[in-house]
Amino acid sequence: MAFVGKLAPLVRRMSAAASASQVPAKRKVAVLGAAGGIGQPLAMLMKLNPAVAELSLYDIAATPGVAADVSHVNTPAQVQGYVGEEQLGDALSGCDVVIIPAGVPRKPGMTRDDLFKINAGIVKNLCEAISKHCPEVIERNSPDLFVDIMTARSHDLFPLEATPKAELPQDVLDALTKRTQDGGTEVVQAKAGKGSATLSMAYAGAIFADACLKGLNGMEDVVQCTYVQSSITELPYFASKVTLGPKGVEEVHPLGKLSDYEKAGLEAMKAELHDSIEKGVKFVSGQ
């Protein structure tokens, strides 16, 4: 079987890591929401990762079937499926990395606010279970959001420090920025109400989880972009490059030199980002 497209680089990197002189420490990884549209391909990608010794798949339904399916992927990682809240503790026990693709997909006509109210509650409950059953994952302050390029927000985002944008014509720059911001909406509309962005999200999650595993295993210069507590702007949380290590986020890198276009875009979205952060903080604190 030939691996094509964007999956090929990931598989090659995983294979190279497996054959390197320093064999990576084997880790237990959980995917919470493993039966969903993102969770299933993400589970398969994590089964391919040579640093994964145990793969714990959890969802509220159908997980045993997904686990049975993924277990036939011919790699050494052992797979176990868990279903329902009563088995969540067993799914999390002993985990080194926990990935949460759980939640409801965005549907046409659904606002980001609607989506937040539903999914924030799901993620909050799962994080409370993580703090109870594998607290070391929380203590390492592992990043909670992967972004493919440096952004100022996970949605309605603005790309910073991507390809040398200063050299691009303004119309190309505007088109690239708009497509970045509307990426999720583009997929929802293209699927005509039958789903949202799932495969690309699974790939992004697998890349970031792989970086976390490399950091935990002590590999040097593991740098990815993620949304974390930060002091690089006046906002308490921001998405930027971070160095990952055994303790999680070990360094938050400052922004590089921004073009005037980037500076203007960043300033224009700070108010909205501030409001989003405030809403999230209030939700977690129960206000």
**Range with the poorest average pLDDT among 20-24, 73-77, 152-156:** 152-156
Q: 81 versus 247: which is more confidently predicted?
A: 81
Is the pLDDT score of 165 beyond 90? no
So what's the pLDDT on residue 144? 41
Per-residue pLDDT of 105-142, as tens digits, reads: 767 788 878 888 888 889 889 999 999 999 988 766 54
> Between 184 and 32, whose confidence is greater?
32
Rounded alpha-carbon distances, angstroms, from residue 5 to 21, 37, 63 = 28, 20, 28
pLDDT tens digits, residue range 184-221? Answer: 888 888 988 787 889 999 999 999 999 999 999 999 99
The Cβ of residue 113 has, within 10 Å, a number of other Cβ atoms equal to: 9
Q: What is the C-alpha to C-alpha distance for residues 92 and 70, in angstroms, rounded to an integer?
A: 18
Which one has a higher pLDDT value, 135 or 281?
Answer: 135
Residue 11 has a pLDDT of 57
Regarding pTM above 0.85, the answer is no
Q: Is 253 considered catalytic here?
A: no
pLDDT category at 253 given cuts 50, 70, 90 is very high
Backbone region of residue 153 per phi and psi (left: phi > 0; alpha: psi in -120 to 50; beta: other values): beta
Task: Check whether 4 has a pLDDT greater than 50.
Answer: no
In one-letter notation, the amino acid at residue 148 is: D
For 100-247, strand residue ranges (E) read 222-229, 237-245
CA dist 138 and 120 (Å) reads: 17
Q: Is residue 163 very low, low, confident or very high in pLDDT (cuts 50, 70, 90)?
A: low
**Residue 278 scores a pLDDT above 60:** yes
DSSP H helical ranges for 134-249:
135-139, 170-181, 183-190, 199-216
The three-state secondary structure class of 251 is strand
Per-residue pLDDT at 2: 46
- Across 217-230, average pLDDT: 91
Annotated binding site for NAD(+): which residue ranges? Answer: 33-39, 59, 119, 201
pLDDT at residue 37 in the model: 92
Res 164: pLDDT? 57
What is the share, in percent, of the chain residues with pLDDT greater than 90? 45
Instruction: Give the whole-angstrom CA distance, residue 116 versus residue 120.
Output: 5
Binding residues: 33-39, 59, 119, 201
Q: Which of 106, 78, 77, 87 is nearest to 32 (CA)?
A: 87
Give phi and psi for 88, each to the nearest 5.
Answer: -65, -40
Question: What's the CA gap between 168 and 73, in Å, rounded?
Answer: 43
Q: Quick one: angle between helices 63-71 and 39-47, nearest 10?
A: 30
Element of type H or E holding 99: strand 97-99
Catalytic residue among 72, 155, 253, 274: 155
Task: Note the Cα 280 to chain centre separation in Å.
Answer: 17
Domains of the chain as residue ranges with CATH = 9-16+25-285 (3.40.50.720)
More confident residue, 152 or 65: 65
The confidence score (pLDDT) of residue 9 equals 58
pLDDT for residue 160 is more than 90:
no
